[in-house]
């Protein structure tokens, strides 16, 4: 996707910080370092279609910041950049996330917390990648979504079965968009999420 020179500079600075900190904290798999641009950054940028200005976006289990911090960087220059909350239980990863936000001057709040115990975030959009199966993910997201809000999940192979399984406990509309970065992956856009009684 096309991004401005300023955004590209920030993304490159973020990439360098991930690679530097990855020597001491497990932010991304070592085997994916050489491929960080496509495998992690471009992968996360795919969610940008759903980052309208002025909204609250909560990214669950952010790890090293994928996809939430990438969305924050790519929207930083919008007149009303979305407010982005990164939820991560690992305190060391949160130190990293805060340091990136400070260095790149991002509109980001980092919550060092388990998703299940954090006060409801009332988010317009909830995102996650590589966190949990869809059924469990919906339980996490439901707690933090405002009425009418939606979920954008990056999902790998097996996503169709996950959607079928999740329908046991959840009612929802689901659109899937094929990933540009991985042939077996999709972006799942979930709307109208409610618990099946």
Cβ-contact 181, 39 below 8 angstroms: yes
**Under rule CB under 6 A, which residues in 106-145 are in contact with ligand SAM?**
114-116, 129-131
The answer to whether 149 is a known ligand-binding residue is: no
**Under rule CB under 6 A, which residues in 82-111 are in contact with ligand SAM?**
87-90, 93
Minimum gap (Å) between residue 166 Cβ and ligand SAM: 18
Q: Which residues contact 168 (CB under 8 A, 6 or more apart)?
A: 135, 196
The answer to whether 172 is a known ligand-binding residue is: no
Asked whether the bond before 120 is cis by omega within 30 degrees of 0, the reply is no
Cβ-contact 169, 138 below 8 angstroms: yes
Q: Which lies closer to ligand SAM via its Cβ, residue 56 or residue 129? A: 129
CA gap 30, 36 in Å, rounded: 10
150 lines the binding site for ligand SAM (CB under 6 A): no
Known binding-site positions: 61, 66, 115-116, 129
Site residues for ligand SAM per CB under 6 A: 61-64, 66, 87-90, 93, 114-116, 129-131
């Amino acid at each position: 996707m096309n991004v401005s020179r300023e955004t590209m500079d920030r993304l490159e600075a973020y990439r360098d910080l991930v690679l530097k900190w990855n020597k001491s904290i497990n932010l991304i798999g070592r085997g994916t370092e050489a491929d960080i641009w496509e495998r992690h950054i471009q992968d996360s940028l795919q969610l940008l279609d759903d980052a309208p200005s002025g909204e609250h976006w909560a990214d669950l289990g952010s790890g090293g910041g994928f996809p939430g911090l990438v969305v924050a960087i790519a929207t930083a220059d919008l007149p009303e950049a979305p407010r982005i909350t990164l939820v991560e239980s690992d305190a060391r990863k949160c130190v990293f996330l805060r340091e990136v936000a400070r260095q790149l001057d991002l509109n980001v709040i980092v919550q060092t917390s388990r998703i299940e115990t954090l006060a409801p975030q009332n988010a317009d959009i909830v995102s996650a990648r590589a966190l949990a199966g869809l059924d469990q993910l919906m339980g996490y997201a439901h707690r933090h979504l405002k009425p009418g809000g939606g979920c954008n999940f990056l999902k790998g192979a097996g996503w169709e079965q996950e959607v079928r399984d999740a329908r046991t406990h959840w009612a929802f509309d689901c659109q899937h968009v094929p990933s540009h970065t991985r042939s077996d992956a999709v972006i799942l856009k979930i709307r109208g999420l409610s618990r099946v009684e």
